Amino acid sequence: MADAKIIRPARHISQKVRKTGGPSPADAIMRALNAAEDLMGQYQGWAVDDLGALWQKFNDTVAKGDVGTGDIQDMFDISHEIRGQGGTFGFPLITVIGDSLCKFLDGRGRLTGFELEVIKVHILAMKAVFRQELKGDQDAMKSDLRDLLELLRAKVDMTSNFGVDSPSDG
């Protein structure tokens, strides 16, 4: 510890921060609310861009026919981003659908043709939410959608455990 050296800053933080002036607490809150409102207006554009990237990744994956863990991870990452911001910016249904897609993709090493169709259903559902601008409280729809997607994931997982490529094969 003999090599340790204490570095003292030239100015303390108290010398850098004004003690008087600046916005009032009410003004600071209004500025923050206005900034949040601006971000909310921009979110749908960002989310649609992310959704476009997810759709493109899905289509590229289907086209190449070989679904690697990297492709699955990329789709997971994009859907995770969309899911995380949905509720924050007033689209709770996006959070529900994104959460379901993340749960579906998590830990998968490969995807069957039927599993790719399930991903497609999730992406199309998110597109529909944005197209219809289904913002705000959608409690009844949110609950029904969560239950439906959970049943879909369970059905696919049960089918996959039996080595079946699609439900109609069984």
pLDDT of residue 55: 94
pTM: 0.70
Instruction: Output the six-digit token pair for 153.
Output: 């994931």
User: DSSP H helical segments within the chain, as ranges?
Assistant: 13-16, 25-64, 69-86, 92-105, 113-131, 139-161
Q: What is the pLDDT of residue 99?
A: 95
Contact 142, 96 (CB under 8 A): yes
Name the CATH architecture for the domain at 44-160.
Up-down Bundle (1.20)
- The pLDDT, as a whole number, for residue 24 is 77
Which residue stretches of the chain have pLDDT < 70?
1-2, 36-45, 160-170
Distance CA 19, CA 40 (A): 33
Instruction: Give the pLDDT of residue 41.
Output: 62
Question: Which residues touch 86 (CB under 8 Å, ≥6 apart)?
Answer: 47, 92, 93, 94, 95, 98
Instruction: Report the residue count for the chain.
Output: 170
Cβ neighbourhood burial of 126 (10 Å; 0-12, 13-18, 19+): buried
Q: Are 166 and 114 in contact (CB under 8 A)?
A: yes
Domain boundaries, the chain: 44-160
φ/ψ bin of 17: left (φ > 0), alpha (ψ from -120 to 50), beta (otherwise): beta
* Nearest of 111, 132, 142, 125 to residue 82 by alpha carbon: 125
pLDDT of residue 37: 67
- Dist. CA 79–CA 105, nearest whole Å: 10
Tens of pLDDT, residues 119-132: 999 999 999 998 88
